Structure formats: structure tokens, C-alpha cells
A and B are shown apart, each in its own frame.
Chain A
Amino acid sequence: MKKKLNRTFINNAITYAMVIIAFVVLYSMQQAGMLSRTIKGQLIPVCVWIVMAVSLNLTVGISGELSLGHAGFMCVGAFVGAVFSGVFKATMPNETLRLILSMLVGGIAAGITGVIVGVPVLRLRGDYLAIVTLAFGEIIRNVLNCLYISMDGGALFFGFSNPSLPGKLIVNGPQGVQGISRISTFPMGFALIIVTLIVVLNMTNSRAGRAIMALRDNRIAAESVGISATKYKLMAFVTSAALAGMAGALYAMNYSTVTGAKFKFDTSILVLVFVVLGGIGSIRGSIIAATVLTILPELLREFSDYRMLIYAVVLIVVMLATNSPAFKQFLSVVKDKIVGLFAKKNREGDAANE
């Protein structure tokens, strides 16, 4: 038991340590003005995509359901968060508080959407579930694309395809939310990553997480020992949606405008690529893949036209390399060495204690 607990514990500790060290280094470099404009502009998006990848991994890797509509939940979070921030701009001058509340509200809204989508969708399995989540993702985006919201005095007005609402328009149909105050910060992005990691990793190693994984491994057996498939599949799906909503809110408030067009089907696929490339079910892999694949296109800008070509080649090479037995062998040897190093220290510590 001790050995196994240590193994999970060390694995998680490495993930946390990796994120914290990366943040400390980048943050001090940012404060010292050592970062290029390109990198600086990518700090918050990287945080957003890491949260998106880790939360999708909860659905795809831990719960085992292929969801292709993750961008839809991000979209809900982005719009709700941006509107919330806009409405309370005057009454809540503290930007950090407003950002936190906007992310929470965005997360809750996306979570509720997750329940509405999840209840019918999780009755399906495999390919059917993938297709229907894809459709729902598009439906959410398209609904928001023709939504108009205006504020007059203290009241909010809603309308579809009708921009002639009283007062000032906050959400302007296909033009999205405009004039967002850009209050997202890199430390807040880092905080959101940590929250996501705590939720996902702690959930995985608890009663609920075991039930979710049991349903993934063998649904009939899980039901035979009294585990409700509906409840736990939905729990994973909604948690994943809520985290995506929070990431969406952070994303929206990093720009002055957010439109539905940013959350198309290809965004869902992009996040899925992070998850698959990092290894399905591997949280650390998702983090690394999201980081590298977000920064790579920016770094390749100088190749202009060949940029996406190189991006594609890198993707293919990484896919091939991570699937080759020789490379896997190499990775596992390295990992065992690192874990063994920690475990050895631990054992020595134990021995000293006894």
C-alpha cells in the first residue's frame, strides 16, 4: 500500500512541481522584462489551453467518453464571464475579485449547460456520443452567435436576431461581446491550472473517481456492484464542462472582443489533439502537449507560409515517436529512474524514522 500510495503521490507531485516551477521561472522573467512580445502574449492562452486539455482528459481519458464539443462549454463560459464582468464593471472596481467571480459564474453556467447536454448525450455510447457532442458544441456556438443582450439602467434585455434592444448592447450577435476590460492575468491563469489539477487529480484518487474509472473499464461489472452509470458519467462530464467554462472566461477577458466564431469545431479538435498527443488519461502529458502546441505556431511565424506545414509535420513525428516501442521503453526507463530516486529517498527517510 505504502509503495503504491507513494507512486501516485510522487507522480502527482512531479506534475504540480513542473507547473509551479514553470510558473515561477516565467513570472520572474516576465517581471524582469526578459520575455519577448510573442512569448508574453502567449502566457495566458497557454494557461487556458492547459486547463482545456486537462478538463477534456477527465471526459476522454478518465471517463472514457469521446467528446467533440468541448469548445461549446468554453464558449458558454467565455460569454457569460465576459457579460458578468461587463455588467459589474462599475459596481466592482477590484479587478482580481471581478475576474475570479466572472470565472466562477462562467464555470457554473458551463456546468449547467453540461447537465443539460449530458443527460441525453450520456445515454449514447462510442461514435454516437462523439457525433452528438459535436452537434451540441455547434448548437451552443450558433445560439450564442445570434444572441443579443443589452443593458438599460439596471435591467438586462435579451433578443434573438434583433439588435434593436433598449439601452447599450453588451452582446452583439455575431460580433460577440465587445469592449471587454482585459483583466486576465498570468498568475490567475496559473491559479486556475492549480485548481483544475487539484479537482481532477483528487477526484481520480477518490471514491467518485474509482466509480468513474470502473464504469470506463467495465460498465456491466460496475453496475453489478451497485454503481450508477448515469450519476458518475454525468459527474465527470459536468466537472469537465465547468472547468472548460472557467478557462473560457479567462480566455475571453484576455481580449477586448470575443465572438462565437472562436469556438468552432476545430477548437474542440485542437483540444482533443492536445489530449491524444499527451497520452489519453495522462494529465502531465496533456499539460506538456498543450504548452508546446500553443507556443509552436507562434514560434514558427517567421516561416510564414510554411508555418502550418511544419506544425503538421511536428505533430506526425511526435505521434510516431511516442507510439514507437523503443521510445516508450526509453521514457519508462527515465521515469522509473526518477520515481526510484524519490522512492529511495523516502525509504531512507522511513528507515531513519524507525
Chain B
Amino acid sequence: MSEKKQTTMVPYPSHAIVPERDVNKKPVLEARHLGVEFGGLKAVDDFNLIIGPTEIAGLIGPNGAGKTTIFNLITKVYQPTMGTILVDGRDTAGMNTIQINKLGIARTFQNIRLFDKLSVEDNVKIGLHNQMKYNAAAGVLRLPGYWKQEKRMHEKALDLLSIFDMQDLANHEAGSLPYGAQRRLEIVRALATNPKLLLLDEPAAGMNPAETAELMENIVKIRDTFQIAIMLIEHDMKLVMGICEGIAVLNYGRIIAKGTPSEIQNNPTVVEAYLGKKKEG
């Protein structure tokens, strides 16, 4: 990743920035004045963000800043109490998690949520559920549609697993995989739903530096091959500064800074949120 050149970020309409290549395209995600209250506590307040269709965006901030809550709002695990979310220009008001996924948003979880007792391959096939269809009767009666689609699903699943070189693990029980592999499997499962925007919640958590470096390459590879946008929450600053093009910093539910990695690194407000105020004198 050493030869990485920094993307030029340009202002988009007025309050946001996107990569230069995405400026004339419809943004994949637009959040306007997004907010949620839990019994009077404003967990997220006035959150505005635009993500270009091939952007790798980062969302960082101290613990408890509301980063995962943003993901839960976008995927409608929580319904926002304020503001709107547009996916591909469509208002998502009143939609549920399933509809959001069908619109093209897939996610991974901070605390891994795999289907533990099923095989690695079945986990991916469940991700393919809405991509390759045959009805339940064809499954029970083993009609030709079943064999045809199952074969395609099997091939597609192995294809997707090969992104992370995991095709040899296809028959293992998902719950028995090592931690790093479980994280990678979650990404594969999310990718199987054919998303336009992939939300990764701490993808490098618990990985060693070598694994993290590999993950960084793979995230860029996924963006390049599938031409999708990726938004990630991460505490590993090497990863965030290394691959993210636009970064938003969150503290106490509000965005305190937005910009390119170098802008964020030199922003005094961000440094303060992370390290505290410098003592006078």
C-alpha cells in the first residue's frame, strides 16, 4: 500500500466532499440532518454525509461516539427520529432492514454475527438468498430448478470465498473458524447480497498487523472489482488513514470534522477529541 496516491476530494454540493471521479454521479448514500433519540438522550444529532458510488469512506471517533448507531440507523435496525436517509437518491423513510438490504446496503457487525452452526459455504449461500431464487416447492420436490440454482449458488459461493482465499474452508462450521477468518467470512456474506454500499463495522478488530495489511489490500480490491462504495468504522488509524478517501469524525453523536486523511490528522478539534486538551503553559 506504500505507493498509494491520495485521491483529490472535491466539494459536493456545498456541505460535503466526494472523490473527484464520483462528482458527476448520483451519491450512493446521503444522510440529511439524521438523528435519533433514546428517551431524551440524543445518540446521534444532525448527521450529514454524502458517499460517492465508488468511495471508501471512514467513520471514526472515540468509544461511545455513536458510530455503530449510525450504521444501525442506515440499515434501519433503529428507525431515525429525525432527518432523512437517501440510498441511490431514494428516500428510505419507513423501510425495514430487509428492504434496505434489497436496495443495496450490506453490513458486517462489530460483534461477529455469523450463522455459527452452519457451514462456511451455507453462510455465503444465505447471503445469496435474494440473488438466486427458486421456490420452496422446487426445493422439497427437488425439481430441475433446484439443482440448477444450487449448482450456480455453489460456484458463486466459492467464487466469493476465493476473494479471501477461503474456498478450502467451505465445509467447516462457521463457528469453529479462527477470529480473523470469521471477520472475513462476514464480509463475504455481505458481498454475496450484491450491495452498492458495504458497511464494515471494525473489520480489523482483533487482527494482527500482517492480517490488517492484507485486509487493507482486500478492501481496496473489493472496491475496484465490484465498483461499490465502502464505509468503515475502525480504530486502527493505519488502516483508516491508509485506504479511506473521505473521513468523518464523530464525537458525542455529532460530526466534529470531515475531510481527507491529511486534513483530519492535522485538525486540532480531532486531536482534542482523541487525546484531550493541551494543558496551558
Contact = CB atoms under 8 A, between A and B. Distances in A.
Interface of A: 1, 3-4, 198-199, 202-203, 205-211, 213-214, 217-218, 220-228, 235
Contacts of A203: 136, 139-140
A228 B192 CA distance: 17
Contacts of B116: 217-218
B129 A227 contact: yes
Contact of A208 (B130, B136, B153): B136
B202 interface: no
Contacts of A4: 119, 121, 170-171
Contacts, number: 104
Interface stretch (B38-46, B98-106, B210-218): B98-106
Given A221-B113, A226-B193, A227-B98, A211 B139 contact: no
A222 B190 CA distance: 11
Contacts of A228: 98
Given A1-B154, A217-B116, A217-B117, A209 B139 contact: yes
Given A221-B114, A225-B190, A210 B125 contact: yes
Contacts of A210: 118, 122, 125-126, 129
14 contacts: A1-B121, A206-B146, A207-B132, A210-B118, A210-B125, A214-B115, A217-B115, A217-B117, A218-B113, A221-B114, A224-B106, A225-B129, A226-B101, A227-B130
A211 B119 contact: no
Contacts of A224: 75, 97, 101, 106-107, 109, 113, 190
Given A202-B139, A208-B136, A221 B109 contact: yes
B133 interface: yes
B151 to A, nearest CB: 11
Contacts of A211: 126, 129
B15 interface: no
Interface of B: 75, 77, 96-98, 101-102, 106-107, 109, 113-119, 121-122, 125-127, 129-130, 132-134, 136, 138-142, 146, 149-150, 153-154, 158, 170-171, 189-190, 192-193
B214 to A, nearest CB: 24
A198 B142 CA distance: 10
A206 B139 contact: yes
Contacts of B153: 207
- For the complex of A and B, 6 pairs with smallest distance between CB atoms: A206-B139, A226-B101, A221-B113, A217-B115, A208-B136, A4-B171
Nearest to B142: A202
Given A1-B170, A4-B171, A220-B113, A207 B140 contact: no
B77 A222 contact: no
Q: Pick from A210, A211, A226 the residue with the most CB of B within 10 Å.
A: A226
A282 to B, nearest CB: 13
Contacts of A223: 96-98, 101
Given A1-B121, A3-B171, A210-B122, A225 B140 contact: no
A75 to B, nearest CB: 25
Contacts of A205: 139
A147 B265 CA distance: 77
Given A4-B119, A208-B139, A225 B126 contact: yes
Contact of B126 (A1, A202, A214): A214
Contacts of A199: 140
Given A1-B170, A226-B98, 14 more contacts: A1-B154, A3-B171, A4-B121, A202-B141, A203-B139, A210-B126, A214-B115, A218-B114, A220-B77, A223-B98, A224-B75, A224-B109, A224-B113, A227-B130
A221 B101 CA distance: 11
Contacts of A217: 114-118
Contacts of A220: 77, 109, 113
Contacts of A222: 115, 126
Contacts of A208: 136, 139
A213 B118 contact: yes
B146 A225 contact: no
Given A210-B125, A221-B113, A226 B130 contact: yes
B101 to A, nearest CB: 4
A218 B113 CA distance: 7
A225 B101 contact: yes
Contact of A225 (B96, B142, B150, B189): B189
A221 B117 CA distance: 14
Contact of B133 (A1, A207, A214): A207
A209 B140 CA distance: 10
Contacts of B158: 1
A339 to B, nearest CB: 14
A3 B171 CA distance: 8
A134 to B, nearest CB: 27
B103 to A, nearest CB: 10
Contact of A213 (B102, B117, B136, B149): B117
A197 B122 CA distance: 21
B42 to A, nearest CB: 24
A218 B97 contact: no
Nearest to A201: B140
A108 to B, nearest CB: 15
Contact of B171 (A1, A198, A202): A1
A235 B136 CA distance: 9
Nearest to A205: B139
Nearest to A222: B126
Contacts of B171: 1, 3-4
